[in-house]
Amino acid sequence: MQQIQQRLDHIFKRPELLEQALTHRSFSSRNNERFEFVGDAILNYTVAKMLFETFTELPEGRLSRMRANLVNQDTLAAIAVSLNVGDALFLGPGELKSGGFNRPSILADAMEAVFAAISFDADFN
């Protein structure tokens, strides 16, 4: 867990949050799905706010398309790969056998969950 925290540049006060964010439903019923829900909202808000403040003259439709191009499975999976998140995932036997630690959907979902875990750990409101 220490290595992934260093790669994320966030040392958790409550490491159990990171553990849950990295736990796939195939491993445990205490998994990252609810964190993923929050992380998706945090990411969409953060990117929308950044685009809104950066591109002050663009209409809403263009901003929405830009956000969609930035916040998607491919981008999130690429971020997860760059941080070696797959190596830290807790996966059930079937997902391990089928290479779930490299599956873009699992990596993207884990990244969203990690964003939520960081937010919870840092007491962001």
> Of the residues 19, 40, 109, 121, which is catalytic?
40
74 an active-site residue? no
| CA 57 centroid distance within chain | 30
Strand partners, 23: 90
> Of the residues 19, 95, 109, 112, which is catalytic?
112
**Cα–Cα distance between 110 and 83 in angstroms, integer?**
12
40 an active-site residue? yes
- Please give the positions annotated as active site: 40, 112
